[in-house]
Amino acid sequence: MTTLLICLPLAAALIVWVLPLNPVSAGSLSLLAALAEVGIWIQLLVRYDFSKGGLQFSEQHAWIKDLGVSYHVGVYGFSVWLIGLTVVVLAAAIAYAFWAGRERTRAYMGLMLFLTGAIVGVFTAQDLLLFYAFFEAMLIPLYILVGVWGGPGRLGATLKFVLYTMAGSLLMLAAIIAYGLSQGTFDLVAIKPVSSDWLFLGFVAAFAIKAPLFPLHGWLPDAYRESSPEVAAVLSGVVSKAAAYGFLRIAITKFPGPAHDFRAPILALAAVSLIYGSLLAFRAPDMRGVVAYSSLAQMGLITMGVFAVNDLGLDGSVLQMVNHGLVSATLFLVVGMVERRTLTGELGRLGGMARGRPALATVLLTAGVIALAVPLSSAFAGEFLILAGIFQRGWGWAVAGAVAIVLAAMYVLRLVSAVLHRDVGPAVSESALDLRPAELGVTVPLLVCLLALSVWPAAITQHSFRGDHGAFDVAEQFK
């Protein structure tokens, strides 16, 4: 089943690339494949035995016997939710791309499908080299999607993105090789935890670039600004979670000693990302800037939760990964919808869009208030658990988080009112339509997921890790 989940989109990508379909049928086929993927995931969700936990649906085939490399995939409780996030957001992104119409549809759709398979691979790989292969396979379509279909500054953005992520990937590859060779196996389940600071830092650097964390976020503003909205949605919603997943699955599990020793500096970087991102989001001149920097802030928060290495922090960060993935994807898609109507994202030229456009106003407002983690939303539940977890590692971290709560209110409300309220901006024409049914069809399901999670955040927090795990038993989770 896991392999099916990985291979279905890859196969669909091949079909879309190879068959000479017209844009409509290529789009429909891709959307169908994406929805089928969601269907398979629902099967996985239903059939995964949460009461038992641990690795399930695992498949293992020898690959390079001498080195202990194998094709080993499988899912843990929390990976079920991350896969769910991936397939849902990618389905929405593909649907939006189909509706908005991208040039060279077949190539575009194929890349999106390929991306889906690769990300699912990252979340299911249980072998270090396989993980690396999927990680790279995830980045390559993104380079092309940003570089070919992006905005006017796409080349610079892509170059930066490639340079940063390549640096991270190489560090990770070197760390993987050194780690695997020293232990005689690359199997993520079987490999023993070690206490090498350098290997730990190699992994952390790679993930910190991908997340990103301050000050390694140089690629982020340009990449999020120049890519098409659905690619930005995938980048900030899903791809960044691969980094958080790496922190959780590799950094703290396989390197418990260094994770403990380096806790303070890593938490400091995460806290700085949180505050710094929030402040920059508060002054960003355009819609994408606000969402992009808020993404930086949120990844800082999630990283804090992971490195709290206790029940509250870990449960909270898995929940928050899903929340942030859904909400930032929604926001980027809405940004795209606004830009379609006004041809700009500059806050100074927007305004007054709520009048006569109730659907747009409702969608943006709902996504916005969830993004600022209004209490009772699932994002609130996630932030609350993370901060409650980090509080136990030192109250100062939680105070930084509490400051960020206030800052989040400031930047989200600024965004919402700059787009929706006050006088009608110069870029907003009278004839700019309300959201069309297709656009609602893309955003409303994402919001429904978020509202459902708000009613029952424990759906994720009770079904991520096995039983009653103590802070030092994290490694136990992965046996």
Partner 1 sequence: MVWGAWICLLSPLVAACAITAGGTHLSRRAAGWLATSSCVVAFAGAVAAFVGLLTHTASDRQFISTAWTWISGGKYQSGLSVIIDPLSVFMMLVVAGVGGLIVWYSIGYMDGDDEERRYFAYMALFVFSMLLLVQSGNLILLLAGWGMVGLSSYLLIGYWHQRPSAIAAAKKAFVMNAVGDATMALALFLLIQQGNSLEFGVLGGDFSSTVANLVALGLLGGAVAKSAQIPLHTWLPDAMEGPTPVSALIHAATMVTAGVYLIVRTHAIFEQAPKVADVAAGLGAATLLLAGLIALVQVDIKRVIAYSTMSQIGYMFVGAGIGSYPNAMFHLMTHAFFKALLFMTAGIVIHALTDEQDIRKMGGLRRLAPKTYWAFLVGSLALVGIFPFAGFFSKDSILAAAMAKGGAFGYILWAAGLAGTFLTGLYTFRLLFVVFWGEPRAFVREHFHPLGRDVVAFSLAIPVGILVVLSIVGGWIQFSPWWHPVETWLQTVAEPIVSPASWQEWTSIALSLLLGLTGIGVAWAVYGAHRVAVPRIAWAQRTLEHKFYFDEAYDALFYAPAVFLAKFLRRGVEQPLIADSGRDLGDDTRDLGSFVARAQTGLVRTYALAIASGVAVLAIVFVIVK
> Which residues, 223 to 242, sit near partner 1 by CB under 8 A?
none
Selected from 283, 348, 396, 438, the binder of partner 1 by CB under 8 A is 283
- Using the minimum distance from each CB to partner 1, give the nearer residue, 202 or 229: 202
Q: Give the number of residues written for the chain.
A: 479
Selected from 37, 187, 222, 439, the binder of partner 1 by CB under 8 A is 222
Selected from 17, 50, 143, 282, the binder of partner 1 by CB under 8 A is 282
At residue 196, the 3 state secondary structure works out as coil
- Integer angstrom CA distances of residue 378 from 3, 277, 444, 459: 31, 21, 16, 11
Q: How far apart are the first and last CA of the chain?
A: 20
d(CA 74, CA 293): 33
> Minimal distance in Å, beta carbon 133 to partner 1?
14
| Residue 261 CA neighbour count, 13 Å, CB half | 10
> Minimal distance in Å, beta carbon 326 to partner 1?
18
| Size of interface with partner 1, in residues (CB under 8 A) | 81
> Minimal distance in Å, beta carbon 112 to partner 1?
26
d(CA 294, CA 273): 10
- Write the interaction track for partner 1 spanning residues 310-339; mark x where CB under 8 A is met and - where it is not: xxxx-xx-----------------------
- Using the minimum distance from each CB to partner 1, give the nearer residue, 141 or 313: 313
* Nearest CA-CA partner of 281 in 289, 273, 269, 271: 289
- Using the minimum distance from each CB to partner 1, give the nearer residue, 114 or 164: 164
Q: In the numeric block, which tokens belong to residue 99?
A: 């509706």
Selected from 387, 435, 446, 449, the binder of partner 1 by CB under 8 A is 387
Selected from 217, 254, 341, 466, the binder of partner 1 by CB under 8 A is 217
- Integer angstrom CA distances of residue 465 from 8, 24, 224, 234, 362: 27, 42, 32, 25, 35
d(CA 251, CA 152): 37
* Binding of residue 472 to partner 1 (CB under 8 A): no
Q: In the numeric block, which tokens belong to residue 464?
A: 């991520």
Encoded amino acid at 449, one letter? C
Selected from 54, 151, 193, 352, the binder of partner 1 by CB under 8 A is 352
* Binding of residue 376 to partner 1 (CB under 8 A): yes
> Minimal distance in Å, beta carbon 53 to partner 1?
14
Give the phi and the psi of residue 96 in degrees, each rounded to 5: -65, -40
Residue partners of 110: CB distance under 8 A and separation at least 6: 13, 14, 16, 17, 30
- Using the minimum distance from each CB to partner 1, give the nearer residue, 98 or 384: 384
Contact segment (CB under 8 A) with partner 1 among 110-118, 230-238, 340-348, 399-407 equals: 399-407
* Binding of residue 134 to partner 1 (CB under 8 A): no
Residue partners of 88: CB distance under 8 A and separation at least 6: 38, 41, 326, 445, 446, 449
d(CA 134, CA 180): 17
Q: Burial-class residue 110 by CB neighbours within 10 Å (0-12, 13-18, 19+).
A: buried
* Binding of residue 156 to partner 1 (CB under 8 A): yes
Judge contact between 292 and 161, C-beta under 8 A.
no
* Binding of residue 199 to partner 1 (CB under 8 A): yes
From its phi and psi, is residue 31 left (phi > 0), alpha (psi between -120 and 50) or beta?
alpha
* Binding of residue 183 to partner 1 (CB under 8 A): no
> Minimal distance in Å, beta carbon 446 to partner 1?
17
> Which residues, 410 to 429, sit near partner 1 by CB under 8 A?
410, 413-414, 417, 420-423
Contact segment (CB under 8 A) with partner 1 among 30-38, 71-79, 84-92, 172-180 equals: 172-180
Q: In the numeric block, which tokens belong to residue 65?
A: 């016997």
Contact segment (CB under 8 A) with partner 1 among 16-24, 136-144, 217-225, 230-238 equals: 217-225
d(CA 290, CA 345): 10
Q: Burial-class residue 468 by CB neighbours within 10 Å (0-12, 13-18, 19+).
A: exposed
- Using the minimum distance from each CB to partner 1, give the nearer residue, 189 or 409: 409
* Binding of residue 218 to partner 1 (CB under 8 A): yes
> Minimal distance in Å, beta carbon 111 to partner 1?
23
- Using the minimum distance from each CB to partner 1, give the nearer residue, 107 or 409: 409
> Minimal distance in Å, beta carbon 180 to partner 1?
10
Selected from 189, 409, 440, 475, the binder of partner 1 by CB under 8 A is 409
Q: In the numeric block, which tokens belong to residue 439?
A: 């656009």
Selected from 68, 325, 389, 425, the binder of partner 1 by CB under 8 A is 389
* Binding of residue 43 to partner 1 (CB under 8 A): no
Contact segment (CB under 8 A) with partner 1 among 45-53, 113-121, 234-242, 453-461 equals: 453-461
